[in-house]
Structure 1
C-alpha cells in the first residue's frame, strides 16, 4: 500500500496515475502483469495513445519497467509490466 501513497504524491499526470492503479490492481505477487495496451485503453476509457503516454510517464519517473514479450513463432505479444 505504500506504493499507492507514493503514486498519489508523485508529480505525475492523472493519466499516469490511472494507468498505474490499473496495473497495480492486476499485478501478481511479483508486481507483474501483462494486459495489452488496447485492453488498458478500453477498460479505462482512454485512447491507446494516451495509455502509451502514461506508460512513458511512469517509466521516466521510475515507477514502471516494461519488457516486450514474444509468441512461440516470434511475433510480438503484450508487454510485461513490472511495477517498482
Structure 2
C-alpha cells in the first residue's frame, strides 16, 4: 500500500492533500516535522490562510496530530506535526 492511498481515497480538498504530502516529505523516520505555516505557504505557493485550513482539515480527519511547541522564554514556536 502506498503512503498516500488513504489521503487519495479520502474526501479531503486538494489543499489538504498538498499540505499532507509536504509534511510527509519533510517528516523524520518517526513521522514528525515542524515547518512554520509561512514556510509551508511559501514552498507550496499557497496563502497562510489556505495552509491553516488545510491543517485543520487534516487534523479533523485524523491524518495528522498537531502539538504546540514553546521557546525557552515562553513564546510560541512552530507546531510539531505528527503524521498518523
State the TM-score bracket (shorter-chain normalisation). Answer: over 0.9
TM-score norm. by structure 1 comes to 0.96
User: Alpha carbon RMSD of aligned pairs, Å?
Assistant: 0.9
**Which of the two has greater strand per residue?**
1
Whether 2:10 is the aligned partner of 1:19: answer no
| TM-superposed deviation, 1:3 | 3.3
TM-score norm. by structure 2 comes to 0.96
Whether 2:81 is the aligned partner of 1:72: answer no
Q: Deviations over 1:41-81 (max 9, x none)?
A: 00000000000000000001010100000011111000000
| TM-superposed deviation, 1:2 | 3.3
Secondary structure, aligned partner of 1:82: strand
| TM-superposed deviation, 1:9 | 1.1
Secondary structure, aligned partner of 1:78: coil
Q: Structure 2 unaligned runs (5+)?
A: none
